[in-house]
Structure 1
Amino acid sequence: MVVFAGLDANPAEAHSAHSTFSLTVIDEDGAKRTYKEVRADQLVRMIQENGVNVLAFDNLAELAPFLNRLVFELSKLERNVDFVEVAYDEPLESKAQKLGLKVEGRLSPTASSEVVAELAKRGLGKKLDFFAPKTLIKIVRRRVPGSGGSSTLRFKRNIETQIKFLAHRIKEKLERAKLDFDHHVRESSGGYSSAVFVVYTPVENLRGIVYSSVSRDYAVKVERVHTKFKYKPPANPQRPLIVGYDPGMTTGLAILDTEGNLLALYSSKNFDRMDVASFCLRYGKPVIVSTDVCTPPQAVKKLSSSFGAKMFYPPQDLSVQEKRELVRRFDSQKIKNTHERDALAAAAKAYLFYSQLLHNTKQKTTLEGISAHFLEVLELVLNGKSVTAAISEIKEKYAVQEAPKAQPQVSQSFVESRVKELESELELLKARVLEYERRIVELNEQKNSLEAKITTLLNERDQSLRKEREVAILEQRLNALQKVLEEEQTKLKAQNVLFERLLWMVKQSVNGKLLFVNILEDLTLSSVSAVCTKKQEVLYVKKPSSFDKEALALLKKAGVLGLIVPEKEVSTPFVFEEIEMPLVSVSRVEFYELPGVNVGAVSSDVIKTISEEKKELQKRVRARKMEELRRMLVEGGAFED
């Protein structure tokens, strides 16, 4: 189901920072919903809540005071919405009356929004492109490293390496999707500190390719780019232009005509290739696009290709000194920054390279009477044709009749004057040659000096890297030793605790309050034999249920009075009763175990407890034996019950 909405401004607040709108939503089945005071920042939510597919306006002229604010808010829409202007060619009231809609007098904002929505529902109006067919992808740091030593540098390099890796991945994805894009990066020692991609397609086409995301160290932002409502018609669409282009985070642009005159010099952030093309077309048609580096950036290649222009680049990167020389003849106050200077230097270098060709082409085109087609002739010449062949092709194309060539009348005085001018120019050129030769010597000296500096810097860098590696190795060793030290300190603390407990036990033993006992895991012959080499009064046994009869006999022989056992093992098996060996629960006595050794200590009162338990055990054994004897006598007939 298609949902239509009409929007109109409330006039009392049209020029206010708090302007509101009237909004009417109409479903395909005719159901209407009207909202009278909607702020710009509420508009997106209402459009999405109502599932609006088409948003219609009266005409953009009435929305002019707050159009950019409105478009900014609409850029936040997460769904595809078409924008329509219904009253672009005649007043809204007239259009509504022609279609049979009831209109009485001037419409209120609410009524106007309803009429606009109704007209859009009937398919009237022209579609608006509020958003340029391009998308901005930014990769930026979320955490900025503070000042510090080598650890801070490693942290910074880690983030920059991640951004560089992510930028390469996004570039590969865009290339696989065969999308047209430009990208600019801000390089740093560890990789990239930021990266920007301008993709020449709507944001909807990037779904499934690149997403906005946020991590601990960096963020990826995918943003649609809204149209800037600024249009300036070209001053002269047939004027050939020489464009100097310095792409980057901040773009520099310089435009010269074929006489070398500066027409425009501009720089801006987020000034992408589409903006550059629109800016150039205000002044004419680019025929030469130039750069100041010997390896042209992709953005320069693409701009040149889009205009079918000749691309110019120097045999080697222009030095700062050479750029200053190239822009010296222009007004220095117009050059605001290095981006504009670089663009202007590139354009000036291209002009100097092609100046003779431009002059000859202009002169011959004028003499042949086709100066109106100078642009087309120049494009052919720049693409490799001779001036004569290019002129012939254009004349044939437009069937231009040859103008009779004027026979100039040259006076003797003119010839003499011209000779003097040429002699002056010759002297000037000789002076320039000498100056250039001097500059070559200076540049060679500078080159040698810079090469020496580079060698020194490379050596210093290598030393610095070696030091960083050594520091990293030492830090690793220090961390390992620190870990070992902490482990040893933990062990030492445990040993100290054990020693203090043992010392206390010894003192208590000397005072007759504690009795040292051996600790056995079970009552196998091997474990009992190991401790019964001398007389033992008491033993602690963890698993008395695991025993050998020979071991029990050995306990009896060694004079063991009783066994201390865990509480769950206290139930006396019959075999222990036979040898009158009492089992005393550890919960009934004070028992101290020394960790790491098979020795413990028990309160000396245990002897008394074991003796009492042994007496009880002997009573139970005698009683059991008397009961067995009585039963035997009864069974033998000696007694009757």
Structure 2
Amino acid sequence: MKVFGIDIIHGSVRSRGERPRFALVIRDDGEERETTEVSVFRLLRLIAREEPDILAVDSVQEIARDQKALFSFLQSLPPRTMLVQSTGGEKQESLPRVAARYNLKFNRFDPFAEARASAVVAELGGGAEVVAFENTTDVTVSRGRSLGKGGWSQNRYARKVHGAVRQTAREVEETLREQGLSYITEEVKAFGGLGRVHFVVSSPREDVPVRNVRSADVQVKVAGRRLDRIRYRTRGGGQRYLFVGIDPGTTVGIAAVTLDGEPVLVKSSRTMAMPDVIEALYTAGRPLVVATDVHPMPASVERIRRAFSAVAYTPKADRTVEEKKALCGDIPYGNDHERDSLSAAMDAFRAYQPKFRNVTKRVPAGHDMDEVRAGVVRGLSLEQILGKKVPSPVEEEEGEEVPAPGPRDDRLLQLDGMVKSLRGHVADLQAEGEAKDLEIARLNALMERERGKESRSLRKDAEVAKLDTIIANQKKKLRREERRTKKLRKQVDRLRRLATSQTGDDRLLVKATESLSRDAIRQVDADFGIAEGDIITVKTTAGWGTTVLDTLAEMRIRALVGDGDERLKDACLERGIVLLHPKAIGLEVRGPVGSADASRFAAAEEAWQKEIARYEQGKKSEMIESIFREYRTEREREVKRDG
């Protein structure tokens, strides 16, 4: 594992004058390899070149002035480099306090020592990972430069660039497919290929085997999709061990402190049953010792202790109220029950402090002291906890091994009696367990029967609800269709009346509108409907746009009647819309409809078809001439190159 640890020497990311300088400590597979002073630019270059597993810092405020800058910094890191805040996540602790959990000591006024401590803490699994991106990655393949205005060879250059974008996108897609990654694609077509391809990959950025690339024609950008805010994920440590004190009774009091004596839970309740107590303690941490303020331990507390396999602690004699208050110290509590439970937890904490201090002196740096102290409380030796021989205080002072004293006979007898007592207790527990297994089996069978009844009832209710929903949806559709049918009937009646009044055997019906705009066309469609083969006339064509022409082309009208300029004529020719002059067809308009002379309309329509033929012929001639010019230019270049 390669770890970079940094700490700021001078300067600040918030300063406009003095840019920050960092102390950098590089550790490789548990060994320190290099220490140096770097700027932000050089730090990022080193990270990009060596791609460390972890970049450790005691505070992210040293590398980014705000969340936006922190997002940018994280985006610049290699995909597999994890940014770790060694002092924790949302709730930070001081670096000396975090380092003490791993028995690390350092000079907090030396930036290189702080960088080294941050690196070691992160290497040992401490700190919190800074998380900024979702498990979704955007991969964008696009042009590497603008095409510009261009010249004679602009079309050929555009085909080359857009073809390169398409080829690169296919290679990226093949890579994602080979890795079995799920993705969706959005393509923007362009002349000769693709102008832009966007892949949305359903995997985190570090699992996407595509890198940022920029060449003359194509660029590939890989970016994780940002979260709404920066989040922190605690690493490795999990829940902390606790000393727990419990005061049973009608009102239950519970308290819990860490192995460093920090209170994490002090509460009491009249409605709290034993399962609720167990759940509250499980949420607070990992109970290591369960204590009471009386001797012997009450049976209800003993059951809770067994639920966590915790070590029991009781005082040799019942504590007085003054002793309980002294044990609680400055830690606040609300009532006598909270005081009794808190004093029991603190009593157990203080009882183990001499052992903890002795262990801290003997354990080498770089070990999780919470795990070591938990092993000591459970009765394990340091050799068992650390998996190797640890020198005793006498060996450390005199430099030689001291043999352990031989066991005494009375001690053996005592242990033998303890074994027999434990065996009897185990037999009782086994019998109790068998009885409970039978009761559990009976209750499971009863529960399965009740669950079957409930399941059938739920399925029936769900089916009825489903059918009710279908019926309601069908009623809505029926009402909608009835309204639409009524509207269409009105349109048909209106059209019949107008057609009868405006047209004869030698006249054609024409639907009229004020202007050539989308709103006007929509109004005609709403009033009379526009169907394939209809003739539409407009009073004025001023302000026309390509969108309304596209709409009329999609409706496949027979002809558009109006007085248009050359631009409108070209646009209609391009879309296959017949554009006729009102005078050419003998148009007469009365209100929202009009009529045209059938014979004159046919003649004008035939003339327009000839115009379309000439337009198509011109387009073909222009295309052939363009190809010929391009060929001639290419041949001239080849002749000059060969000459």
Q: TM-score, normalised by structure 2?
A: 0.37
Q: Which has the larger radius of gyration?
A: 1
Higher RCO (CA-CA < 8 Å; seq separation 6+): 2
